[in-house]
Structure 1
Amino acid sequence: MKRIIVTRFSAMGDVAMVASVLKEFVVQQKDVEIIFVSRVQFAPFFVDIPRVRFHVMDPKIKHKGIIGLIRLFRELKKYKPTEIADLHNNLRSLFLVFLFKASNYQVSILDKRRKQKKLLTRRENKILRPLDPVTECYGEVFRKLGYNFTLSHQLNKVDRKIPRNLIHIFNSNDKKIGIAPFAKHKYKVFPIIKMEETIRDLCEKNYHIFLFGGSEEEKSICEKWAKQYPKTTNTIGKHFLSEELDIIANLDVMISMDSSGMHMASLVGTRCLSIWGATHPYAGFLGYGQSMDDCIQVEHPARPSSIYGNKPCLCDGVEAIELVTVEMVTKKIEEVLG
């Protein structure tokens, strides 16, 4: 049995994409075991993938700094790996790669396509053409190690149990929509006022809404909406990540920003309508198996300005995400759900 150490420490959406890739990899490579190294909160993404063992990387205490990374290296060596696949290519992962290389291990490192990304996001003479999906870039890392590996780029519906306290809702005939209204960077977030209007319109059409997020501020906003609008359920602070995946797997459709909500939907095979502003699906971060036809965006020569959404994208003086209307979102939902 071959054994590959695979590293991807963050962010949540990227780690979820790795999980989608590994699900297909282990099916095609029956003689390979994966030791996946990441932060403990992402472990639920990998629980049901055969021959994948999760090794916790603790960057704040146990594996902090150079001494901590050397400790992590020693922990990982005990697995007696045959190869190392670095799917992160950041300072921490590259230091680990250096240690493994110095010990004569075969390694392969993610190519982040930085040059192509600059051409896509530069202000002048922008080259607007699709880059390789990030999932294909992950796949390439394994191919460089000598594995024959082909990604299907298909959504595969996963059968997961509905949390007990929500069974009564899923037993109703209402269509179930998940909404992840937030993102790490503000230039990727559909304006809150517009999102509230969207939720109100959907409630009036008798859809049941499930709201997803993470921070206390996001929880406060979603609790307010859940109290104000019927058939709206806030999941923030009430369910573990694994239970959120259970809920998303049983939805009729998901609505998300260019964020982890989209990638979680892909992981459990749920169709996702995604809203884009400063970023663009051409950068390669469209959810695995999701369709370009389900991207809600307004094309403009200034887009995209950013790969990650941390830079503004002014389109004729208006932020790109502001160009998306409530009507565009609700119309697309009605097209999909009827």
Structure 2
Amino acid sequence: MAKFLIIRFSSIGDIVLTTPVIRCLKTQVPDAEVHFLTKQSFKSILAHNPYIHQLHLVNDDLGEMIQQLQALQFDYLIDLHHNLRSLRVKRGLQVKSFSFNKLNIEKWLLTNLKINRMPAVHIVDRYLQTISSLGVVNDGKGLDYFISKADHVPTNDIPTSHSAGYVGLVIGAALATKKLPLDKLKEICAAINHPIILLGGPEDKAEGDKIAAIDPIKIYNACGKFKLNESADLVRKAKLIITHDTGLMHVAAAYQKPIITIWGNTVPALGMGPYFGTQPGLQHSFEVAGLRCRPCSKIGYAACPKGHFKCMNQQQVPAIVATAHQMLGHL
């Protein structure tokens, strides 16, 4: 039996993107025992993954965690985070390791000089390349996201008006330059001729209330009302997901949902767009073309560094709405 430890500390989307590695390793390496190390705050993402033998959760004391991991005598370590903390774990365990190439130079060239040296390869395939020497190959099945029945949202927890189907609109994002301004979100919701559920965390609730006030019957604000896996269940049940570059975008891809993605300061060329594997995923992305300032970051900022925020302020809402209606018409 070979015992593996995969490391990815954060965040929601990045962890979801590691799930093909977990599955392919478990199913393709004979008698593989797969462990995963992440932060305590991201436990729910992988808690029900059947391919993981044991989930190891770290808070602040990484030293204590390393001692616990040493006792388990791993054969291999797969570092999909590749930062100082994962380096510390590797030094502590002293076993054969495989480290993900983050392509930091290529990302710097793209975000700072607008020189694109990024390979036309999705990050999932790059994650899998990290362990190709073990004979592991991409099985083409896309991403995984497993939840328990306890996380299923009861029908009576959402309005009756939405029980026949709805569009899920993810209104939040980790950083402000990844998300549409409030007026654009309102425009989209006003124009879409279909029930809408707003998805996001507690930090998005106030903005969600303002959007839902446009039409309280058509628009239901679920932001902050449900835990992550319950929100994932709402994504799973949606007809269509409209989203920024967020973790729920990847959850939607895991459930093979039709997706409309709206990109601000980040770009799909960074290799982290919706990933469907070899499945015929239905998705359409919206970007404001021709902006010399974009992408300005591989992650995002609290505010536009240039002050104009053209990458979101110039998004064409009528085109987004027309695409949504077209996609809904084919479902």
Q: State the TM bucket, normalised to the shorter chain.
A: 0.7 to 0.9
How many corresponding residue pairs?
A: 319
Q: CA deviation at 1:312?
A: 3.9
Of the three residues 309, 312, 321, the one matched with 1:321 is 312
Q: After superposition, what is the alpha-carbon deviation per residue over 1:274-306, rounded to whole angstroms, capped at 9, x for unaligned?
A: 101211101011122186951111221523222
> Which stretch of the first structure deviates more once superposed, 320-329 or 106-115?
320-329
Q: After superposition, what is the alpha-carbon deviation per residue over 1:305-337, rounded to whole angstroms, capped at 9, x for unaligned?
A: 22112384769x652122212112101101211
Of the three residues 98, 112, 116, the one matched with 2:91 is 98
Please list every run of 5 or more consecutive structure 1 residues that lacks an aligned counterpart in the other structure.
64-68
Task: Call closer, same or farther: CA 1:192–1:168 in 2, change over 3 Å.
Answer: closer
Residues 180 and 257 in structure 1, CA contact (< 8 A), matched pair in contact too: yes
Q: CA deviation at 1:263?
A: 1.2
> Which stretch of the first structure deviates more once superposed, 8-17 or 264-273?
264-273
Residues 26 and 51 in structure 2, CA contact (< 8 A), matched pair in contact too: yes
- Partner SS for 2:131: helix
> Which stretch of the first structure deviates more once superposed, 133-142 or 5-14?
133-142
Q: CA deviation at 1:167?
A: 6.9
- 1:94-243 map, 5 Å: 94-101=87-94, 105-123=95-113, 126-127=115-116, 130-144=119-133, 146-152=134-140, 154=142, 162-164=152-154, 165-166=156-157, 169=160, 172-173=163-164, 175-202=165-192, 205=193, 207-216=194-203, 218-229=204-215, 230-243=217-230
Aligned CA-pair RMSD = 2.8
Residues 11 and 42 in structure 2, CA contact (< 8 A), matched pair in contact too: no
Is 1:4 paired with 2:17? Answer: no
Residues 20 and 143 in structure 2, CA contact (< 8 A), matched pair in contact too: no
Query: Equivalent residue for 1:66?
Result: none
Residues 187 and 313 in structure 1, CA contact (< 8 A), matched pair in contact too: no
Amino acid at match of 1:141: T
Amino acid at match of 1:220: A
Query: Equivalent residue for 1:264?
Result: 251
- Partner SS for 1:122: helix
Is 1:79 paired with 2:72? Answer: yes
- Partner SS for 2:43: helix
Q: CA deviation at 1:169?
A: 4.0
Query: Equivalent residue for 1:18?
Result: 18
TM, length-normalised to structure 2? 0.86
Quote the Cα distance in structure 2 between the aligned partners of 1:194 and 1:5: 43
Quote the Cα distance in structure 1 between the aligned partners of 2:169 and 2:175: 17
Query: Equivalent residue for 2:324?
Result: 333
Task: Call closer, same or farther: CA 1:318–1:6 in 2, change over 3 Å.
Answer: closer
Residues 241 and 259 in structure 2, CA contact (< 8 A), matched pair in contact too: yes
% identity of equivalent residues: 24
Quote the Cα distance in structure 2 between the aligned partners of 1:168 and 1:319: 36
Task: Call closer, same or farther: CA 1:84–1:130 in 2, change over 3 Å.
Answer: closer
Is 1:251 paired with 2:238? Answer: yes
Residues 100 and 130 in structure 2, CA contact (< 8 A), matched pair in contact too: yes
Residues 36 and 55 in structure 2, CA contact (< 8 A), matched pair in contact too: yes
Task: Call closer, same or farther: CA 1:34–1:154 in 2, change over 3 Å.
Answer: closer
Task: Call closer, same or farther: CA 1:188–1:237 in 2, change over 3 Å.
Answer: closer
> Which stretch of the first structure deviates more once superposed, 294-303 or 162-171?
162-171
Q: After superposition, what is the alpha-carbon deviation per residue over 1:103-153, rounded to whole angstroms, capped at 9, x for unaligned?
A: xx11111110112212322336x2376543221222122224x23221516
- Partner SS for 2:26: helix
Amino acid at match of 2:78: A
Task: Call closer, same or farther: CA 1:98–1:299 in 2, change over 3 Å.
Answer: same
Residues 3 and 33 in structure 2, CA contact (< 8 A), matched pair in contact too: yes
Task: Call closer, same or farther: CA 1:335–1:155 in 2, change over 3 Å.
Answer: farther
Residues 279 and 309 in structure 1, CA contact (< 8 A), matched pair in contact too: yes
Residues 281 and 292 in structure 1, CA contact (< 8 A), matched pair in contact too: no
- Partner SS for 2:256: coil
